[in-house]
Amino acid sequence: MEIGTHTRLLGVMGHPVAHSKSPLMHNRALESQKLPYTYLAFDVRPEELPQAVNGMRALGARGWNVTIPHKVAIMALLDEVNDEARRIGAVNTVVNDGGKLIGMNTDGAGYLRSLEVETGLRLEEQRVLILGAGGAARGVAYALAQSGVQSVVIANRTVAKAEQLRSLLQHLTDVKAVPLAEIEKWIDDRTLIVNTTSVGMHPHVEETPIPGELLPEGAIVSDLIYNPMKTTLLRQAEGRGCVIHNGFGMFVHQGALAYEQWTGVQPPLDVMRQAVST
């Protein structure tokens, strides 16, 4: 599709976003369905987020994705946040509905679809350890707790932030908030370990959120990062006989859910996967 006066704007806001494959994935999907949109990446520093949101509104953008570090801060800048995103306390998708900016969250649903399909695990049997307590952690943790997992431990450098997330989940399952520095006390009995932080993401690919030797043998280790596909954490987990799961499937599924909200069209999942699998 050629860009013209009929073309509407979609995109992703984050800082940084140079690593993002969202433009490639969405533009391939849009081209395959001949839809009149184009999707761009916007590197927005935290202090410039209000201006960026106002700019997207003024330009009549149909919507955009929200990634690190804006998923929580953007909520106060929108006209409306749907019930699920408000309960989670984070937004990863914005839809412009006739000038009204509505915040949503497709992270949790996208993550669960990917996790179940790719690992075959039974969610109700899992004892979960979540590394991090930011916007991505909120969506994933809420979805896991709501799915009926046995228990959740949230480990974060700032315990107060982990406590905020614990309070969100406490009516759904047994949940504890602990300092990341004390992870050794809580990791041994965990069957599903989920890294929701950006530690290990391109270009800092040698970094890892926790020492690999702490990973329980045979656990499922899931990293929301998809660039690189196999982070240092996942390589270390593989070496300890763990089942590994990266963020690729979640990335595709959460993006597909957002795509459907913007376009009203069923997304071409195979095209989206193929676009970002190389």
Tell whether 247 is in a known binding site: yes
Tell whether 83 is in a known binding site: yes
- Paired sense of beta strands 93-97 and 63-66, if any: antiparallel
Helix (H) or strand (E) holding 217: none
Catalytic annotation present for 71: yes
Q: Where are the beta strands (DSSP E) in the chain?
A: 8-14, 37-43, 63-66, 80-81, 93-97, 100-104, 127-131, 151-156, 174-179, 192-195, 220-223, 243-245
Tell whether 107 is in a known binding site: yes
Nearest residue to 134 via CA among 110, 162, 104: 162
Tell whether 188 is in a known binding site: no
Tell whether 112 is in a known binding site: no
Tell whether 142 is in a known binding site: no
First-to-final CA distance of the chain: 23
Tell whether 22 is in a known binding site: yes
Instruction: Name the catalytic one among 71, 100, 185, 230.
Output: 71
Tell whether 67 is in a known binding site: yes
3-state secondary structure 220-232: EEEECCCCCCCCH
Tell whether 134 is in a known binding site: yes
- Summarize the annotated binding site as residue ranges: 20-22, 67, 83, 92, 107, 132-136, 156-161, 224, 226, 247, 254
- Summarize the annotated binding site for shikimate as residue ranges: 20-22, 67, 92, 107, 226, 254
- Summarize the annotated binding site for NADP(+) as residue ranges: 83, 132-136, 156-161, 224, 247
**What residues act catalytically?**
71
